Amino acid sequence: MTLSCTEQQRTTCSVGGMYTALAIEKFLPIMHCGPGCYANVSCTLGTMNGGQSPETYNNSIVPSTNFCEDDVVFGGVDRLHALVGECIKYYDSDLYLIIDGCTAEIVGDDLEEVANAFQSEEKPIIYTSLPGFKGNSVWGHGEVLASIVDQYMKPAADIDPLQVNIFGIVPYFDPHWSATLDRLEELLIYLGLKPNIIYGRNRGKKNIDKIPAAGFNLVLAPWTDLALAEKLKEKFGTPYLHFDNQPIGPTETAKFIRRICKYANLGELKAETYIKKEEDRYYYYLRRSYPWIYSCKNFPREFVVNASAAAAVSVSRFAVNDLGMIPKRIYVTDGIPEEYQPGVEAMLRDVEYDGDFEVIFTEDGGLFEDSLKYEDLTIRKLCVFGSSWELVPTTKEKLPFVPVTTPLGDFMLGSKTYFGYEGGLTFMADLYSDAANKVIDVQI
Amino acid sequence: MAVNLDWKVIPAREQRLGSITGYDGTLRDMAEQGCNGCLQDKRRDFQTASSCAHCHLINQLAGLQGTAVVDHAPIGCVGSQVFFSSGRARIEPPPGAPPMENVRILTTGINEPDTIFGALDKLRDSVRLAYERHHPREIYITTSCTSAVIGEDCESVAEEMTHELGIPVIVGTGEGLRSKIWASGFDAYCHAASLARLKGKEVTPKDKKRNTISYVGFAPTGRKYIAPLFERIGLDLVCLTAGSSIEDFQRAAESVATWGQCGAQSSYLCGVLEKEFGVKYFQSHLPYGGIGFERFFRDVARYVGREEDAEAVLAEERAKYLPKIEKLLPRLKGTRVLVAMGASFAYEYTRMLGELGMIPIHTVAYHYDPKLDNLYEEEKVAAATDVFELKLDVPTSVNDAQQQETNLITKQLNPDLVLSRAHEAGVMAQLQGRPALDAQIGLIVMGYRGLYRFAVLAHEALQTNNMVRHLGARYVTPFTPEYENLEPFQFYREEAI
């Protein structure tokens, strides 16, 4: 991956991949990194991401060798070895993941050697090299999952055709990951499947152990975890269904439900009953707000997205297909490998709108704020879907704004998600509420 | 090793000031050892991630008005800056100034080939982009672990770009691996900002100083309460904080006196003002709480010959706030408190607790400086001053936000309240059901008003513990019984260095 000069990042470096481990209950990352690497990762993926903190191991107790100048000269393997030994004694963990950062990688400290020294321990210890100069946190996430598969997973004795492993949602990098997975799990159970999720509450190692037994894998994202799904297909023969976004609102959610039911041969009746019931509810609430929405003069239909591919596809589908909005420009900021870019662009253009709009692949989150210098916002404002970095310019220019991507912002996320029918209403309420404070005039 | 604007690379605090991150004992012992130059550091072989100099170098530089920062590092080394950008945007701007913008921080994004072939061309292009995009009045290039390990000559690029762009392009050296003390990054900020904004400046001669006093800190929050107090002794307040302009630095250099929010963040810049421009640095008495404020304000007033006016101010402040504080004392009195904070404020709050009748049972400082950057040897760091002047003593320990260590002390001592600031010592306590309070620092804590404000917050924290109590009832330890049964200070393993 080529990284060039950027500002206002929406990813961290690859060390952020450790948040994938932190999202798995009792999975302890052990850092062989500089003293500040965790703080950098946790600000973007945690604190400033809707005020999230990891469970089981919160911010203040993640072990690290705090790689220092002496280690550059003498190597840090001995200190790492000592730290791993202490971690096994002191942390109640099911799995351990040793990671390194830039400096340990440059001086050539051998993680595999340290991990192998502890193979007689009853708890599995795996390792992943995550030097920040190799990629961003999405890349790091992929490396961590690949290490789990390569170093830990064994084929299953039996396959459960109804079990579906959920991938594609990158925990913390997708700020709404936790509540989204909960809602998705409920939906899939209702439809008759047995969803297997590794991230979040009460899941953990036992669900990792179940991965090879799945009937199929679901990748619910434009591009993330597709490589993992291929790996699992190769290693365990598990087929996968790729649905290109986390559905928000009625159009995409119905499409998703029909698609997965067809793929898993679940029959139409249950799906259609569910869709009918939820659509009725969605449009009931929409109608209740509609007179107010109609009176929202000056609500800008045009929008710009400055976000991850996952957020960009989900949000622009809903905004265009269900809210009747118009895409103007979409910055995709997660450093997508070149081979995936044409596919993601096609996904972004797969909306019910014939006009032209720009799709820009960049990790330079600052391009959007810079572009405002050249916008004429005197006649019409713009809606903006981005990150915490967009808060200041959208406040200054009075642009309706909904944070949708990491770092989401300095506020409490709680259990919010934009997933599904309910998520669509939540998104719409967030958007119109912000617009009402900035541009909407119902009196004049 | 005091301040020195000829340094290309500013030494880490461990070397420059003899600062430490490992100690357990008493404040008196630590202060005496520090004053005698024999304080030794301790290391751990079980430690958790803390923070680094690099992060704090950048957040301070980028906080200034009219700057852009180009971080010569892999992309992740600026990961924490969104936090500081967001916080800065909420600072009330000085009268007449525009609202705060996002910080302007670009990163060269050093990648794998760059670690082999170098990335100075990328650095040049990034500096040019920073200039074109933001038109700053100065640009700082910050170095990182990776740029240092691969041997990048950022200094030569800075010189080249200074000529090309016609604005100061200055290197800030803040590699995270060079210091265990993140405050080393504050020093690097002070050094770089001094090079850009102060070095070689023509200022008023020492005997014709302007009637200003400068404050070095994170933010100007609270200025509106404090500036009027200084006006009474004939001094205008200049803030060298987030949002400060180049002109503010010029005014600071012309000031009569300066002080800092704490030794950690402010010492080096105050030291520069004193050494280079004859601005008197008041650092042995910090102005927090009633005792601290009275000593500090009298020191300053004596220096500018306005002692009578100062006494009037102090009397008014006492009359305004002491009766209100008095009403809160019955609930506060006797409360046993564990403090965990940065180097200066840990001991400032330790003293303030005593003023409110609360009992500091242990104080954790995230590092300790045995000395600071004042010109005169006899001036002690504030904590040591208290030991000698007030006979203040408290069981104390030093760790760089090693909360698994602080947690063991908390469990052993069972305080009624944990008082912390940042780095989540209080979070650990609250998850286990203990009352805790995240304290504030800076101008907002100054004087009797600050003491009253703290008393109100502490009083509230002790009034009800309902949410925390419920949390505590559901606490599941992430540790093993072996950890939970440890005595504090078990993690020192290596020989003292």
Q: Encode pLDDT of B190-236 as tens digits.
A: 999 999 999 998 887 776 778 999 999 999 999 999 999 999 999 99
Q: Residue written as tokens 């101008």?
A: B443
CATH number at residue B167: 3.40.50.1980
> Distance between CA A106 and CA B112 in Å, rounded?
10
DSSP 8-class letter at B73: S
pLDDT of res. A267: 86
B290-327 per-position pLDDT tens digit? 999 999 999 999 999 999 999 999 999 999 999 999 99
pLDDT of res. A131: 97
SS3 annotation, chain A: CCCCCEECCCCCEHHHHHHHHHCECCEEEEEECCCCHHHHHHHHHHHCECCCCCCCCCHHHCEECCCCHHHHHHCCHHHHHHHHHHHHHHECCCEEEEEECHHHHHHCCCHHHHHHHCCCCCCCEEEEECCHHHCEHHHHHHHHHHHHHHHCCCCCCCCEEEEEEEECCCECCECCHHHHHHHHHHHHHHHCCEEECCCECCCCHHHHHHHHHEEEEEEECCCCCHHHHHHHHHHHCCCEEEECCCCEHHHHHHHHHHHHHHHCCCCHHHHHHHHHHHHHHHHHHHHHHHHHHHCCECCCCEEEEEECHHHHHHHHHHHHHHCCCEEEEEEECCCCCHHHHHHHHHHHHCCCCCCCCEEEECCCCHHHHHHHHHCCCCCCCCEEEECHHHHHHHHHCCCCEEECCCCCECCCCCCCCCCHHHHHHHHHHHHHHHHHHHCCECCC
Query: Of all residues in chain A, what percent carry a pLDDT higher than 70?
Result: 99
Cβ–Cβ gap A389/B82 under 8 Å: yes
pLDDT of res. B493: 73
Who among B45, B86, B129 is closest to A83 (CB)?
B45
Who among A15, A72, A90 is closest to B480 (CB)?
A90
Cβ–Cβ gap A391/B428 under 8 Å: no
B4 in any annotated domain: no
Backbone angles phi, psi at B196, to 5 degrees: -75, -40
> Does the pLDDT value for residue A162 go beyond 50?
yes
Interface A–B counts its CB contacts (< 8 A) at: 243
Distance of CA A344 to the CA centre of its chain: 15
**Span B423-446, average pLDDT:** 95
**Span B320-336, average pLDDT:** 98
Task: Judge contact between A35 and B184, C-beta under 8 A.
Answer: no
Token digits for A334? 């997660």
Strands (E), B169-245: 169-172, 212-216, 236-240
State whether ipTM is beyond 0.90.
yes
Cβ–Cβ gap B51/A63 under 8 Å: no
Domain interval for residue B397? 322-484
B434 in any annotated domain: yes
Cβ–Cβ gap B106/A7 under 8 Å: yes
The count of other CB atoms within 10 Å of the CB of residue B234 is: 15
**Span A127-149, average pLDDT:** 98
Check whether residue B158 and residue B274 sit in a common domain.
no
Query: Sign of the CA dihedral B413, B418, B423, B429?
Result: positive
Cβ–Cβ gap B45/A86 under 8 Å: yes
Task: Judge contact between A86 and B45, C-beta under 8 A.
Answer: yes
Task: Judge contact between B74 and B114, C-beta under 8 A.
Answer: no
Residues of B in contact with A61 (CB under 8 A): 48, 403-404, 428, 478
pLDDT of res. B494: 58
**Span A118-143, average pLDDT:** 95
Task: Judge contact between B339 and B413, C-beta under 8 A.
Answer: no
Cβ–Cβ gap B478/A61 under 8 Å: yes
The count of other CB atoms within 10 Å of the CB of residue B429 is: 27
Check whether residue B290 and residue B225 sit in a common domain.
yes
B30 in any annotated domain: no
**Span A154-176, average pLDDT:** 97
Closest CA to A409 of A327, A310, A307: A307
Question: Parallel, antiparallel, or unpaired: how do β-strands B23-26 and A401-403 relate?
Answer: unpaired
Check whether residue B341 and residue B363 sit in a common domain.
yes
Question: Parallel, antiparallel, or unpaired: how do β-strands B23-26 and A383-386 relate?
Answer: unpaired
Check whether residue B454 and residue B350 sit in a common domain.
yes
Q: Find residue B492's DSSP bridge partners.
A: B44
Check whether residue B185 and residue B216 sit in a common domain.
no
Instruction: Report the residue of chain A nearest B79, measured CA to CA.
Output: A40
pLDDT of res. A2: 43
Structural domain count of chain B: 3
Among B15, B48, B52, B75, the strongest candidate for a mutation testing the A interface, having the largest count of A CBs within 10 A, is B75
Cβ–Cβ gap B145/A102 under 8 Å: yes
**Span A389-417, average pLDDT:** 97
Task: Judge contact between A170 and A12, C-beta under 8 A.
Answer: no
A371-389 per-position pLDDT tens digit? 999 999 999 999 999 999 9
Q: Which of B173, B197, B221 is the last residue of a domain?
A: B197
Residue A56: is the preceding peptide bond cis (ω within 30°)? Answer: yes
Strands (E), B190-329: 212-216, 236-240, 257-260, 280-281
Instruction: Report the residue of chain A nearest B482, measured CA to CA.
Output: A90
Check whether residue B219 and residue B181 sit in a common domain.
no
> Does the pLDDT value for residue B105 go beyond 90?
yes
CA distance A142 to chain B (A): 17
Least confident of A262-271, B85-94, B131-140: B85-94
Cβ–Cβ gap A5/B401 under 8 Å: no
Residue B74, C-beta contacts closer than 8 angstroms, at least 6 positions apart: A3, A13, A102, A131, A132, A133, B107, B109, B110, B111, B144, B146
B297 in any annotated domain: yes
CA distance A419 to chain B (A): 26
Cβ–Cβ gap A5/B51 under 8 Å: no
Check whether residue B283 and residue B407 sit in a common domain.
no
Q: What's the farthest any 2 CA atoms get from each other in chain A? A: 75
Token digits for B368? 């300790």
Q: How sure is the predictor about B495, in pLDDT bands with cuts at 50, 70 and 90?
A: low
Closest CA to A334 of A354, A314, A364: A364
**Span B105-112, average pLDDT:** 97
**H/E element, B359:** strand B359-365
- Find the helix packing angle between A249-263 and A420-438, rounded to 10°: 160
Cβ–Cβ gap A60/B427 under 8 Å: yes
Q: Which of B162, B197, B232 is the last residue of a domain?
A: B197
> Distance between CA A109 and CA A90 in Å, rounded?
24
> Does the pLDDT value for residue A269 go beyond 70?
yes
**Span A186-196, average pLDDT:** 97
Helices (H), B64-119: 81-89, 112-117
> Distance between CA A343 and CA A106 in Å, rounded?
35
Task: Judge contact between A66 and A76, C-beta under 8 A.
Answer: no
Check whether residue B248 and residue B275 sit in a common domain.
yes
Least confident of A394-398, B95-99, B275-279, B370-374: B95-99
Residue A252, C-beta contacts closer than 8 angstroms, at least 6 positions apart: A245, A314, A317, A318, A321
Token digits for A34? 């500089």
B5 in any annotated domain: no
CA distance A202 to chain B (A): 13
**Span B460-483, average pLDDT:** 96
Distance of CA A108 to the CA centre of its chain: 31
Q: Which of B174, B197, B220 is the last residue of a domain?
A: B197
Angle in degrees, CA B306, B307, B313, rounded to 5? 95
pLDDT of res. B1: 54
Backbone angles phi, psi at A200, to 5 degrees: 100, -170
B371 in any annotated domain: yes
Task: Judge contact between B481 and A91, C-beta under 8 A.
Answer: no
Query: Of all residues in chain B, what percent carry a pLDDT higher than 90?
Result: 91
> Does the pLDDT value for residue B277 go beyond 50?
yes
Average pLDDT, chain A: 96
B43 in any annotated domain: no
CA distance A115 to chain B (A): 17
Calculate the CA dihedral of residues B293, B298, B303, B304 and round it to 10 degrees: 90
**Span A104-115, average pLDDT:** 96
B27-70 per-position pLDDT tens digit? 999 999 999 989 999 999 899 999 999 999 999 999 999 999 99
A230-250 per-position pLDDT tens digit? 999 999 999 999 999 999 999
Check whether residue B68 and residue B89 sit in a common domain.
yes
Residues of A in contact with B58 (CB under 8 A): none
Please, what are the domains in chain A? Answer: 14-151 (3.40.50.1980), 163-269 (3.40.50.1980), 290-438 (3.40.50.1980)
> Distance between CA B261 and CA B382 in Å, rounded?
12
Check whether residue B214 and residue B193 sit in a common domain.
no
**Span A58-72, average pLDDT:** 94
Check whether residue B126 and residue B215 sit in a common domain.
no
> Distance between CA A167 and CA B77 in Å, rounded?
28
Check whether residue B103 and residue B213 sit in a common domain.
no
